[in-house]
Each structure stands twice: as structure tokens, then as C-alpha cells.
Chain A
Amino acid sequence: AAGVIQSPRHLIKEKRETATLKCYPIPRHDTVYWYQQGPGQDPQFLISFYEKMQSDKGSIPDRFSAQQFSDYHSELNMSSLELGDSALYFCASSFDRGPHQPQHFGDGTRLSIL
């Protein structure tokens, strides 16, 4: 079965640079979620999109932005990168008709800031 695809798997950037992370959800899933997992931490919700519209926002810095495109893929854009942005970034997708559907995660993008 098709899974959530994230790219790149690994990304190394320097401070103050920009980064773009991509996510391709499972076909027919209508909702995409982005999470940030710092070292030794639990994943924290950043932002979500339902049918290409932003549906919820969590602890996402103003330096970050995201969007979902007509083909349902999503991109997380990160600017003025800081050392603290080093983390594992997950995209998850689900077919949301309530809180009872599991979210399926991609393998994540490991972002390292030097």
C-alpha cells in the first residue's frame, strides 16, 4: 500500500539559510499534518491542512510557513534557520471525518543546522 512520502530524508543547512521540506500524502487522504520532534522529545504539532486550506496551527514559528497544493502535496518552508530548528520533521496524512482515524506518518526529514 502507498505510504506518506517525505523528501528529503536528510538535510544539512547552516544558520540563517532556508529549507523546504516536501510531503506527498497517501492517495485520497484529505488532511496533512506537520510535526516537529526535537532530540529526545515527543512530536509537537506545527500546522495542518484540510482540502488545501489551513485548518489548524500549533507552535509553528513565524519563520516557518506551509501550504498544500492542488495535488494535495504539502511543503514546509523554513527561513532564517536557527540551531534549535535541528529536529526530525514528520508529515502525516489521514482521511478525516472525526478523531477516530489514525494518522499515517512519513519516514520524516532529519534537519541538521550547523
Chain B
Amino acid sequence: AQKITQTQPGMFVQEKEAVTLDCTYDTSDQSYGLFWYKQPSSGEMIFLIYQGSYDEQNATEGRYSLNFQKARKSANLVISASQLGDSAMYFCAMREGSSSGGSNYKLTFGKGTLLTVNP
């Protein structure tokens, strides 16, 4: 079963408008982290924002906010006041808690959403 589902292969938004990128996840762990990364066409992977499973408040980081609905297992990324430089691929990813100790907290990624910001 897919652990991270991003249902929007592509999204378009007008400059200065807000946009929501969807992400749902599947885990049986109580402790997990949800992350959003931005990948421009140049290829680098840029960390944007993080939400912990125990966090009661939605995470915010500048123009980025995370709409975390734990019961629905969703962690949507909201970008406010879109800019042309926001055009990129956006990946939702999850790290799950490990019962075996050590450090096994690999990231599992969704398929990504390609955001295009129009002038």
C-alpha cells in the first residue's frame, strides 16, 4: 500500500494567490514526522516544513503552512502569495518511528506535485 499519496500530479496557480497541495499518509506508528520538500528543475531537494505527529498546532514557516488533520491522515501544504520562483516539484514525505532502535528513520516520499505559477 502506498504510504504517501499525492493525488495532484500537476497544479497551476496565479502569482500572488494561495495554493494547497494535498498529501495523505498511511502509518500504524504513533510517532512519525511529515515533511515537505521542494525540488526545482535544477534538481536540488530543499526542506520546507515539518509536522510532528504529536504536534497540536499546524506548522508554519514563512509563506508555507501545513494543514495537519491527524484523524484524516492528511498533511496538506499551503503556499500563500505564490511567487514565480515557487514553480517546482513538491514532495510530501514521512519518517516513521522505529521499534528496533538505532536510526532507521528513512524518508518515504509521495510521487510529487508539479506546481506551476503563472504570471
Residues in A whose Cβ lies below 8 Å from that of B107:
33, 35, 43, 45, 92, 103
Expressed in whole angstroms, the minimum distance between the Cβ of B37 and any Cβ of chain A is 8
Does any Cβ of B come within 8 Å of A72's Cβ? no
Q: Are B33 and A100 in contact (CB under 8 A)?
A: yes
Query: What is the bound-complex CA distance between A50 and B105, given in angstroms?
Result: 10
Chain B, interface residues (CB within 8 Å), range? 20 to 34
Q: How far is the CA of A92 from the CA of B52 in the complex (A)?
A: 19
Contact of B103 among A48, A58, A107 (CB under 8 A): A48
- Type the 1/0 row for B40-72, where 1 means its CB is closer than 8 Å to any CB of A: 000111110010100000000000000000000
A103 CA to B96 CA, complexed, in Å: 13
B103 near A31 (CB under 8 angstroms)?
yes
Kindly list chain A residues whose C-beta atoms are within 8 Å of the C-beta of B44.
105, 107-108
Subset of 7 A-B contacts with CB under 8 Å: A98-B31, A98-B105, A99-B96, A100-B50, A101-B105, A102-B47, A105-B37
